[in-house]
Structure formats: structure tokens, C-alpha cells
Structure 1
Amino acid sequence: MFSLIERVQRLCPELSIEHRRYVGIDFLYIRPPTPAARAIFEAKVREQADKMVRGTSLFYECHFVRKATDRWVYRFRFRVPDRKSFCCGNRCPDCILLRPKG
């Protein structure tokens, strides 16, 4: 997470970015210089997160949560795709019955 914050901070030095973790969930608190900076921040976060997950099975989620006084709050997390744990009978290509045992 800190690598992502450092990358975005380098690209947008005018933004104040603070990271907080509550109950295992990462939140980014952004203090923008102008209201138009929100679109710039979101584009830069997506761009840098895409670079970080490229070539892996990871993906990321970034959701705007709320606007608090002078800051925007985003929930951000990197995730590993969920694997199926049962056969649903629909002949899915990732069916657990087709996995090698062991």
C-alpha cells in the first residue's frame, strides 16, 4: 500500500495523502488543493495500481466513501481472486472437479 501512495504522491505532489487502516481495511484520506483535483487523483491511482497488478492474478478496488470537512475518503484494497470451493453443475472452465489433485 505504501508503494502505491509513494508513486501517486510523486505524480501529484500538490495532494496530501494519508493512509489509515481500520479493522484491516485501508483508507486513503486525500486533502486536495482544488475540487478538480479529484479526477486527477483517481486517474493516477488507477494508473499506478494497474502497473502494480500487471502480470499477477491480483486486482484492486478503489471506492469513494465520503467527503469529510476538507478531505476525501477512499477505501482501497488489493485482492486475490476468489477460487471456487464447490461444483455448481454448470460445467464451468474453472470447476474444482477439473483441478489436479495434490
Structure 2
Amino acid sequence: MKTDHERAFDLFSEDLHRSSVIKNVQFKQITGLPFVYLWPAHQADQSQLEDQLKRSAAKAMKGKRLTLAMSYVRKSQAFYVYRVRFLVPQRKMFCCGNFCDDCIRFT
């Protein structure tokens, strides 16, 4: 069974592959960080690519407690590179019954 994080990344990938603004998408993990390589369609510029990334991420995160961390890395002659991560909340969201100091019941 996949986690919300894994399902969100799958939905994100599917939505980017269907986009008319993007000709090709490739995902790479380098030193544990996810990078997205985007080859734009002929009429697309960088702002359109970033808008598509944000729209696809919003669709993927809908109904889940995730946030987007996206940063532009570099541009080659043919493609753009972005680091895109879905972050999970740092705060505990339920009581495990172990009487932890940072228990959700104490907030």
C-alpha cells in the first residue's frame, strides 16, 4: 500500500506527462533528492512551465497534508531542471498512547 507522499508523486508525474506545455518529463534522484527535467513544447516559456508544475503539484496534494518545496536549478539548451519535493508535516498528527512530551493532546 502506498503512502500519501508516494501517491502524490505518482499523480504529479501523470499530470505532467499529460500536459500540453511540456513535451517530455524525466525524474531523477540524485543523492536522495528528486529532480524533474522538463523539455518544453515549442511555444512554452519558463513561467508557463513553473505554472504547470504548481498546478500539477496542487492537484497531487489535494486532500493530503503535504506542502510543495520547488526550486529552479538550471537551464540547458533543451531542458529545465527543478528540484521538487512534497514535504510532510513536522508535527505529530495523532496520539500514539506513549505519553510523549510533544503529544497532540497537549496543544
Is the aligned partner of 1:100 residue 2:100?
A: no
1:47 corresponds to which letter in structure 2?
Answer: R
How far apart, in 1, do the equivalents of 2:72 and 2:43 lie?
Answer: 14
1:92 aligns with: none
Contact 1:12-1:41 within 8 A present in 2 as well: no
Go from structure 1 to structure 2 and tell me whether the alpha carbon gap of 1:8 and 1:43 turns closer, same or farther (over 3 Å shift): same
The ranges of structure 1 where at least 4 consecutive aligned residues each deviate by more than 6 angstroms after the TM superposition are: none
TM-score w.r.t. structure 2 length? 0.68
Aligned to 2:88, which of 80, 93, 97?
80
Go from structure 1 to structure 2 and tell me whether the alpha carbon gap of 1:73 and 1:56 turns closer, same or farther (over 3 Å shift): same
By relative contact order (CA 8 Å, sep 6+), the higher-ranking structure is: 2
**Max radius of gyration: which structure?**
1
Aligned to 2:51, which of 9, 34, 43?
43
2:4 aligns with: none
How far apart, in 1, do the equivalents of 2:80 and 2:43 lie?
Answer: 10
Runs of at least 5 residues in structure 1 that lack an aligned partner in the other structure: 85-94
Runs of at least 5 residues in structure 2 that lack an aligned partner in the other structure: 1-8, 93-100
Contact 2:16-2:22 within 8 A present in 1 as well: no
Is the aligned partner of 1:68 residue 2:76?
A: yes
Residues matched between the structures, number:
90
Structure 1 stretch 1-10 or stretch 57-66: which is displaced more? 1-10
